[in-house]
Chain A
């Protein structure tokens, strides 16, 4: 993975020193909150309901064990001994004190981690396929491009005051694990005539006006990435609305002006920008690529794996659920579930951070990933090491076999933490997971993505959940709307609302009714929820959700 050079380290140290001085000036009264707020947001520091929150970027979700241990250290020393993995491959600390934040940032800076542009109207942390560099179906590792984007966008003077925040996602596979179509710009690696390039999507996004990204360029040569992104951003800077915050995202710009106009303007700008690039970016990219060279994979027998798989049903269940195909046949990609039934999705204790750091160091070529689905990934594991890893994960309470199942829920922090939230999401996730664990239905139900947001801004990606749940404030009471049929994959779709919402006490039983209806109407155990929904539509689920309405019609 990328290792900071002297320039990067000096840049970050200086930036942290600047922020330290800004914090001091706020405390001594030289800066008002109005003056300080944009400065702290540029450095990832929010003020939430009960405390400050520091959002730290894990660029494209990749980190090494040293960095993970530093997160544990920061959590223990300045927070409450845990971190929260977000839906954008960041880590949040929920309880920092203002005076401590500069020390926290310096501490993270020592291991090449920063919180720059994790907030504000700038280009945010570029998210990537969490299986990047490991997936069997990958065309090319997208992370060098993501790192190039990070370096280019960090402190880029033209894009520090955009009309609104700007999120880029990238995947090197045609299979989309990075929800690229729900981003301001989505980059999906494709092949044409044997040559790899990017399909560029623009104007996707969730929030109050959910939209699926539209194809802006069906094939962009890899070397044109930065000039093309500059062109896209420069058009947005000119065309994007600044009169209304809710109309300011690029999805509205594209929607209002039309994709053809946007494309035409982008291509014109691209021709100009392209001429300004002298090849420095490509030299830099070549250097970055060296950092991402694949490890030297160990090869050897998988006998320990085979015998444990045959004899240990708990191990087998975990393997069947939490492992994905690696491009090396004798390796696997391990997703560590941070979704124990009844626990807060994505919360990982400092002790658990150290366990996964140790595992990555001992077995996993020093590589760790975070997924936008709020789990931790060991991307390269030789299959023979899996029994030992599983045992260590079990001891750390990290061996839940539920990846991709009903309890592997994405949930935003909701009103338990977030100042924007209109309802809670965490307890709803906890109760759904606990309920289906009690019913022992989880594995029978199979592949199912539930995503929960505590407000219309949709950090919990509810629009692309097979079952989406949106928490709202209805006349001073928490109320939860359900959507069905959302999909965050390469077949991206926005879910459809079922009808009236449900109270806090009714929402878990409502989900249970949906699941029971699914089990009744699916044509076989192999038909996934999303496919059943695609085949039978909304009606059976509506009937299950609103039995009284059905009676009235009858």
Chain B
């Protein structure tokens, strides 16, 4: 039996800002994981990655990252993606800083 597919989001870094971005159902990029498209089908994930990579002139290094459905949209399943979502733990820099200014 094939292993069950772990849902994915597509994530990358913005070319100019360098910060973490996520691919949405509208083929746009968001700064918030919760607004990302959660892909639950393996074949679909590869097609969506190709779609995302069409925008390689403005993004860097798109890849599929494991995620799970949460109350407010996709959530990370691994601590690395959790850090990418928030920012470093020694200062309130990165996304957590942006959030504090909202």
Q: Which chain B residues (7-45) contact chain A, with CB distance < 8 Å?
A: 13, 15-20
Residue in B18, B19, B83 whose CB lies within 8 Å of A416: B83
Kindly provide the distance from the CB of B21 to the nearest chain A CB, expressed in whole angstroms: 11
The complex places the Cα of A80 from the Cα of B61 at a distance, in Å, of 24
The reply to whether B18 and A97 form a contact with Cβ atoms under 8 Å apart is yes
Count class of interface residues, chain B: 20 to 34
Q: Which residues of A contact B57 (CB under 8 A)?
A: 29, 32
The complex places the Cα of A203 from the Cα of B65 at a distance, in Å, of 37
The reply to whether A476 and B78 form a contact with Cβ atoms under 8 Å apart is yes
Residue in B15, B90, B91, B93 whose CB lies within 8 Å of A98: B15
The complex places the Cα of A98 from the Cα of B95 at a distance, in Å, of 18
Binds B, one of A218-226, A258-266, A422-430: A422-430
Known: A27-B15, A99-B16, A415-B80. A50 touches B89 (CB 8 A): no
**B52-76 Cβ-contact flags toward A at 8 Å (1 or 0):** 0000110011000000000000000
Residue in A52, A347, A476, A478 whose CB lies within 8 Å of B18: A52
The reply to whether B56 and A33 form a contact with Cβ atoms under 8 Å apart is yes
Residue of B nearest to A80 (CB): B93
The complex places the Cα of A278 from the Cα of B85 at a distance, in Å, of 58
Q: Which residues of B contact A416 (CB under 8 A)?
A: 83, 88-90
Residue in A29, A51, A344, A426 whose CB lies within 8 Å of B94: A51
Kindly provide the distance from the CB of A338 to the nearest chain B CB, expressed in whole angstroms: 14
Kindly provide the distance from the CB of A455 to the nearest chain B CB, expressed in whole angstroms: 11
Kindly provide the distance from the CB of A430 to the nearest chain B CB, expressed in whole angstroms: 7
Kindly provide the distance from the CB of B14 to the nearest chain A CB, expressed in whole angstroms: 9
The reply to whether B88 and A417 form a contact with Cβ atoms under 8 Å apart is yes
Give the A interface residue count (CB, 8 A): 31
The complex places the Cα of A195 from the Cα of B71 at a distance, in Å, of 74
Q: Which residues of A contact B84 (CB under 8 A)?
A: 49-50
Residue in B17, B78, B83, B90 whose CB lies within 8 Å of A49: B83
The complex places the Cα of A327 from the Cα of B9 at a distance, in Å, of 61
Q: Which chain A residues (45-104) contact chain B, with CB distance < 8 Å?
A: 47-52, 80, 94-99
Kindly provide the distance from the CB of A434 to the nearest chain B CB, expressed in whole angstroms: 13
The complex places the Cα of A371 from the Cα of B82 at a distance, in Å, of 33
The complex places the Cα of A52 from the Cα of B13 at a distance, in Å, of 9
Residue of B nearest to A45 (CB): B18
Known: A29-B57, A33-B56, A426-B89. A49 touches B16 (CB 8 A): no
Q: Which chain A residues (427-455) contact chain B, with CB distance < 8 Å?
A: 427, 430
Kindly provide the distance from the CB of B87 to the nearest chain A CB, expressed in whole angstroms: 6
The reply to whether A51 and B79 form a contact with Cβ atoms under 8 Å apart is no
The complex places the Cα of A434 from the Cα of B37 at a distance, in Å, of 41
Kindly provide the distance from the CB of B7 to the nearest chain A CB, expressed in whole angstroms: 15
The complex places the Cα of A98 from the Cα of B57 at a distance, in Å, of 13
Kindly provide the distance from the CB of B13 to the nearest chain A CB, expressed in whole angstroms: 6
Kindly provide the distance from the CB of B92 to the nearest chain A CB, expressed in whole angstroms: 11
Q: Which residues of B contact A32 (CB under 8 A)?
A: 56-57
The reply to whether A98 and B16 form a contact with Cβ atoms under 8 Å apart is yes
Q: Which chain A residues (12-63) contact chain B, with CB distance < 8 Å?
A: 26-27, 29, 32-33, 47-52
Q: Which residues of A contact B56 (CB under 8 A)?
A: 32-33
The reply to whether B90 and A50 form a contact with Cβ atoms under 8 Å apart is no
Q: Which residues of B contact A97 (CB under 8 A)?
A: 16-18
**A296-327 Cβ-contact flags toward B at 8 Å (1 or 0):** 00000000000000000000000000000000
Residue of B nearest to A423 (CB): B79
The reply to whether A47 and B89 form a contact with Cβ atoms under 8 Å apart is no
Kindly provide the distance from the CB of B26 to the nearest chain A CB, expressed in whole angstroms: 22
Q: Indicate whether A477 reaches chain B with its CB closer than 8 angstroms.
A: yes
Residue of B nearest to A29 (CB): B57
The reply to whether B79 and A50 form a contact with Cβ atoms under 8 Å apart is no
The complex places the Cα of A225 from the Cα of B88 at a distance, in Å, of 43
The reply to whether A47 and B61 form a contact with Cβ atoms under 8 Å apart is yes
The reply to whether A476 and B15 form a contact with Cβ atoms under 8 Å apart is no
The reply to whether B16 and A476 form a contact with Cβ atoms under 8 Å apart is no
Q: Which residues of A contact B83 (CB under 8 A)?
A: 49, 415-416, 424
The reply to whether A477 and B89 form a contact with Cβ atoms under 8 Å apart is no
The complex places the Cα of A99 from the Cα of B17 at a distance, in Å, of 8
The complex places the Cα of A424 from the Cα of B78 at a distance, in Å, of 13
The complex places the Cα of A424 from the Cα of B87 at a distance, in Å, of 12
Task: Tell me which of B15, B19, B61, B90 has the highest count of chain A C-beta atoms within 10 A of its own C-beta.
Answer: B90
Q: Which residues of B contact A344 (CB under 8 A)?
A: 90-91
A-B contact list, 22 entries, CB within 8 Å: A27-B15, A27-B16, A47-B18, A49-B20, A49-B80, A50-B87, A50-B95, A51-B17, A51-B94, A52-B18, A95-B93, A97-B16, A98-B18, A344-B91, A415-B79, A415-B83, A416-B88, A416-B90, A424-B83, A430-B90, A473-B79, A473-B80
7 cross-chain pairs, A with B, having the tightest CB-CB distances, nearest first? A416-B88, A52-B18, A51-B18, A50-B94, A29-B57, A344-B90, A426-B90
Spell out A's residues near B (CB within 8 Å): 26-27, 29, 32-33, 47-52, 80, 94-99, 344, 347, 415-417, 424, 426-427, 430, 473, 476-478
Kindly list 19 other residue pairs between chains A and B, CB separation below 8 angstroms, not including A32-B57, A47-B18, A50-B95. A27-B15, A33-B56, A47-B13, A49-B80, A49-B84, A50-B20, A50-B88, A94-B93, A96-B18, A98-B16, A98-B18, A99-B16, A344-B90, A344-B91, A416-B83, A416-B89, A426-B89, A476-B77, A477-B79
